């Protein structure tokens, strides 16, 4: 997979050189490029923002540096940027609709909420591009224009506000990157984690079996695999009901009578 990130703070993305994602890049499973939006400005002050039409607080990111940066991403990936004419055609021709065009993810608290299922979907893509906005956001015409060459998706991490898209990109690239085949050494570890079955993870324990007067639950030392599986399932259900009743609601018709007894 190829990922391009455009940001005015490329140093934020340095963390993607570490750990699992850093290793995936070294191993050639992930090609990740970070571009500085200011490199696509043409004025002496490298200006990326201006005041909003209609008034209001804060600043808005100017459209032209974004267009130049995204065109450079397309050129780097061997795609030709859309002309106004090609943009018209793409809107009408179904073949141009789906795969082939890279996905442009625009991190924004006004986006669709990022989930594990979206991470799986995006992990199957060939080329993702992240456009990190700052200030009050990017001039809306950039997203309209970009729809000619990209599948544009505004995406939010949840209902709170960050100062910019960079930290959201760190989270999304990690969530997506670990789902690329070969990135997580033991694929079994992807199966038993939170959200893989719509429930939160069960609690885990390691040695010593008594620590500061606290015992590991007896069943985990019993060697009885059926009882251990039931204990873990019950803990998942109990926790999810307590912390995330919305998830239990969504799964309600998939719970059997043993599951219901745990709640
Ligand atoms: Cl994706 N971006 C920003 N700027 N703020 C957020 C967010 C994203 N998700 C939640 N808050």
The closest-lying atom of ligand 1 relative to the alpha carbon of residue 133 is 4
Q: Model-level pTM?
A: 0.91
User: Is 154 near ligand 1, meaning CB less than 6 Å away?
Assistant: no
**Ligand 1 mean position to 161 CA, how many Å?**
5
What's the pLDDT score for residue 187? 87
CA–CA separation, 111 vs 115, rounded Å? Answer: 12
Helix axes 166-177, 19-26, angle to 10 degrees: 70
Mean pLDDT confidence for 123-148: 96
CA–CA separation, 229 vs 246, rounded Å? Answer: 24
Residue spans of the domains in the chain: they are 2-177, 200-262
CA–CA separation, 225 vs 258, rounded Å? Answer: 17
**Ligand 1 mean position to 60 CA, how many Å?**
16
User: Is 168 near ligand 1, meaning CB less than 6 Å away?
Assistant: yes
For the beta carbon of residue 4, count every other beta carbon within 10 angstroms: 23
CA–CA separation, 98 vs 137, rounded Å? Answer: 26
What's the pLDDT score for residue 224? 98
> 200-262: same fold as 2-177?
no
Mean pLDDT confidence for 241-260: 95
pLDDT band at 134 (very low <50, low <70, confident <90, very high): confident
pLDDT in tens, 162-186: 999 999 999 999 999 999 999 998 8
The closest-lying atom of ligand 1 relative to the alpha carbon of residue 158 is 10
pLDDT(22) > 60: yes
Query: Where does the chain show beta strands of DSSP type E?
Result: 2-7, 31-36, 49-50, 60-61, 103-113, 127-131, 151-156, 210-211, 214-215
pLDDT band at 122 (very low <50, low <70, confident <90, very high): very high
Is residue 241 packed enough to be buried (19+ CB in 10 Å), middle (13-18) or exposed (0-12)?
middle
Q: Domain 200-262: what homologous superfamily?
A: tRNA(m1g37)methyltransferase, domain 2 (1.10.1270.20)
pLDDT(86) > 70: no
pLDDT(90) > 50: no
What's the pLDDT score for residue 93? 44
What's the pLDDT score for residue 231? 98
**Ligand 1 mean position to 170 CA, how many Å?**
11
* Residue 114 DSSP SS3: coil
For the beta carbon of residue 156, count every other beta carbon within 10 angstroms: 18
95/198: higher pLDDT? 198
What's the pLDDT score for residue 82? 59
Residue nearest ligand 1's atom 2 by CA:
108
Mean pLDDT confidence for 89-95: 45
pLDDT(88) > 80: no
User: Is 158 near ligand 1, meaning CB less than 6 Å away?
Assistant: yes
The number of helix segments (H) and strand segments (E) in the chain equals 10, 9
What's the pLDDT score for residue 30? 97
What's the pLDDT score for residue 124? 97
What radius of gyration, in Å, describes the C-alpha atoms of the chain? 23
Residue nearest ligand 1's atom 8 by CA:
108
Q: Which CATH code fits 2-177?
A: 3.40.1280.10
Of 8, 138, 3, nearest in space to 73 by CA:
3
Please state whether beta strands 127-131 and 210-211 pair in parallel, antiparallel, or not at all (unpaired): unpaired
**Ligand 1 mean position to 31 CA, how many Å?**
24
Residues 6 or more apart whose Cβ sits within 8 Å of residue 216 = 205, 209, 210
Element (H, E) at 64: helix 63-76
CA–CA separation, 233 vs 111, rounded Å? Answer: 33
């Amino acid at each position: 997979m190829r990922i391009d990130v455009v940001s005015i703070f490329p140093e934020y993305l340095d963390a993607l050189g570490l750990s699992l994602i850093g290793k995936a890049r070294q191993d050639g499973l992930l090609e990740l490029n970070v571009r500085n939006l200011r490199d696509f400005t043409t004025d002496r002050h490298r200006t990326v923002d201006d005041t909003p039409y209609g008034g209001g607080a804060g600043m808005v990111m100017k459209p032209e540096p974004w267009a130049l940066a995204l065109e450079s991403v397309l050129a780097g990936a061997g795609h030709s940027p859309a002309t106004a004419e090609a943009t018209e055609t793409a809107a009408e021709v179904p073949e141009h609709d789906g795969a082939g065009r890279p996905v442009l993810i625009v991190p924004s608290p006004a986006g669709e909420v990022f989930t594990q299922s979206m991470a799986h979907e995006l992990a199957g893509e060939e080329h993702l591009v992240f456009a990190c906005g700052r200030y009050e956001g990017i001039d809306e015409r950039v997203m309209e224009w970009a729809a000619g060459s990209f599948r544009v998706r505004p995406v939010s991490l949840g209902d709170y506000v960050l100062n910019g898209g960079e930290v959201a990109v760190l989270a999304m690239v990690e969530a997506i990157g670990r789902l690329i085949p070969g990135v997580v050494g033991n694929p079994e570890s992807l199966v038993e984690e939170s959200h893989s079955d719509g429930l939160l993870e069960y609690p885990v324990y390691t040695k010593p079996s008594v620590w500061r007067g606290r015992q590991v639950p007896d069943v985990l030392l019993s060697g009885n695999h059926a009882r251990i599986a039931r204990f873990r399932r019950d803990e998942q259900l109990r926790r999810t009901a307590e912390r995330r009743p919305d998830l239990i609601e969504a799964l309600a018709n998939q719970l059997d009578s043993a599951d219901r007894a745990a709640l």
